Amino acid sequence: MHTIAVTGGKGGTGKSTIASSLAVVLSEQKKVLLADVDVDCPNDHLILDVERKKLVDVFQSIPQWEFDKCTKCGTCASVCKQNAIVAVKGKNPAFVPELCIGCKACIVACPVKAIQEGRKKIGKIYSGDKYGVHLVSGELKLGELASGEMVVETRKVADDLAKKNGFDIVLVDSAAGIGCPVIASLHGTDFVVAVTEPTPSALHDLKRVLYLADHFRIPRGIVLNKADMDTGFAKKIEQFAKNHGIPILGRLPYRQDVVKATIKMKPIVIYDKRYKKTFIDISNTILRGL
Amino acid sequence: MKIVVSASGPDIESTVDEKFGRCPYFIVAEIVDKTIVSHKSIENTSTKQMTGAGTTAAQLVADMNVDAIITGNMGPRAFTIFQQLGIAVYEGRGIIKKAVQDFIAGNLRKMESAKCPRHMFS
């Protein structure tokens, strides 16, 4: 089983657009699971028009005080970096669950072991099928902070499902950026597909996300989306790729088609079969490299 | 009895500030035998924060060993903290001195829940 991450740094370059069509095309040769780990705003179920059904709730640990043991020393409040615990002289500490990220520092620090581990719900994992692709979609509960943890849980569920059911490929569609959730999306994958576009912001952000892939020593390739949007800047991206020995897996044109397909809730390779060839070429290049 | 009021200005003739967490001042009033015997103002240092002003303001006020709070609106984080600490929160508006006198007379309404913005999207 191989895991391929689709990321890119800059938002809006076409990660989900490419990940969803790549999944559809790959599923013609292999058994594919698409894990949507943009847990803040998952969209793959909209691109593929999948009716998602809830698989599991995801929980995070929170402290639970045994006040009969509490000596009101205030240590728990002093170690909480989230300011989720308020200690007042002579009173039992007050706790704000919304601010807790489950680090358990308070549980560890309590000198009389008065704090147990409780839990709170931080999100849901859904699944569904379309075009031969099994989608697993992670969604963070609004107001919760633990995006990274939610990504880890969604990947765990996806990996378990994939192993148990003999999937060949897990395609991980990450969020934009380079933060905790993206790191959790790339870590331990076999290949990173970096989706970019010919703009200075995209190139800037692409370099940042490729740094992550290199840090984790994961082989990587670039998909240049909206390639003809600016042929001059596209050349800069190609030159950058060449200078750093990063293969360009494929190029996609800047067309209204993709917008139309997205609004009709169809992956581009289904909306217009002429796009299939490019995606087949990209998938073959990736499979050869694995 | 010690009362804290969220204040828009540094004295008892100022108005009650509508928002608890980011009010510029707190007025701390000492009540003995249904009379205001002393009062002072404290700057609310939480206003400088980007986030979490409600929790920090709650800590600031709770540390003063207050018996009750008078404010216009209080968010869910500060509210749950005072609920857990057993400190009652009352709704008050207008001139602080009058609001405290209304409190003494038992005319202020106790806040049963935090004021939450309407959830428009799902």
Is A53 within the bounds of a domain?
Answer: yes
In this prediction, residue B48 carries a pLDDT of: 86
Q: Do A83 and B52 touch (CB under 8 A)?
A: yes
Under DSSP, is residue A191 helix (H, G, I), strand (E, B) or coil? Answer: strand
| Whether A198 and A218 share a structural domain | yes
pTM above 0.90, yes or no: no
Q: Do B77 and A99 touch (CB under 8 A)?
A: yes
Is A195 within the bounds of a domain?
Answer: yes
| Whether A212 and A74 share a structural domain | no
Count structural domains, chain A: 2
| Whether A271 and A229 share a structural domain | yes
3-state SS string over chain B? CEEEEEECCCCCCCEECCECCCCCEEEEEEEECCEEEEEEEEECHHHHCCCCHHHHHHHHHHCCCCCEEEECECCHHHHHHHHHHCCEEEECCCEHHHHHHHHHCCCCEECCCCCCCCCCCC
Size of interface A-B (CB pairs under 8 A): 39
Q: Do A86 and B58 touch (CB under 8 A)?
A: yes
pLDDT (tens place) for every residue of chain A, 290 residues total: 999 999 999 999 999 999 999 999 999 999 999 999 999 999 999 999 999 999 999 999 999 999 999 999 999 999 999 989 999 999 999 999 999 999 999 999 999 999 999 999 999 999 999 999 999 999 999 989 899 999 999 999 999 999 999 999 999 999 999 999 999 999 999 999 999 999 999 999 999 999 999 999 999 999 999 999 999 999 999 999 999 999 999 999 999 999 999 999 999 999 999 999 999 999 999 999 88
| Whether A198 and A82 share a structural domain | no
| Whether A21 and A128 share a structural domain | yes
Q: Do A83 and B85 touch (CB under 8 A)?
A: no
Domain holding A74, by residue range, is: 67-113
| Whether A142 and A210 share a structural domain | yes
Contact between A290 and A283 (Cβ < 8 Å) = no
CATH number at residue A52: 3.40.50.300
ipTM of the shown complex: 0.86
| Whether A199 and A285 share a structural domain | yes
| B113 CB-near residues (< 8 Å, 6+ apart) | B79
| Whether A214 and A252 share a structural domain | yes
Query: Which chain B residues contact residue A98 at CB under 8 A?
Result: 76-77
Is A154 within the bounds of a domain?
Answer: yes
Is A197 within the bounds of a domain?
Answer: yes
Contact between B39 and B5 (Cβ < 8 Å) = no
From the candidates A41, A65, A81, A88, which should be mutated to test the interface with B, based on the most B CB atoms within 10 A?
A88
Is A118 within the bounds of a domain?
Answer: no
Q: How many CB atoms neighbour CB B45 within 10 A?
A: 11
Query: Which chain B residues contact residue A91 at CB under 8 A?
Result: 62, 85-86
CATH number at residue A75: 3.30.70.20
| All structural domains of chain B | 2-110 (3.30.420.130)
Rounded distance, CA A208 to CA B58, Å? 40
Residue where a domain stops, chosen among A113, A147, A179: A113
| Whether A208 and A79 share a structural domain | no
Rounded distance, CA B61 to CA B65, Å? 7
Q: Do A92 and B63 touch (CB under 8 A)?
A: no
| Whether A93 and A213 share a structural domain | no
Is A214 within the bounds of a domain?
Answer: yes
| Whether A99 and A192 share a structural domain | no
Nearest CA in chain B to A100: B77
Strand partners, A138: A125
| Whether A50 and A81 share a structural domain | no
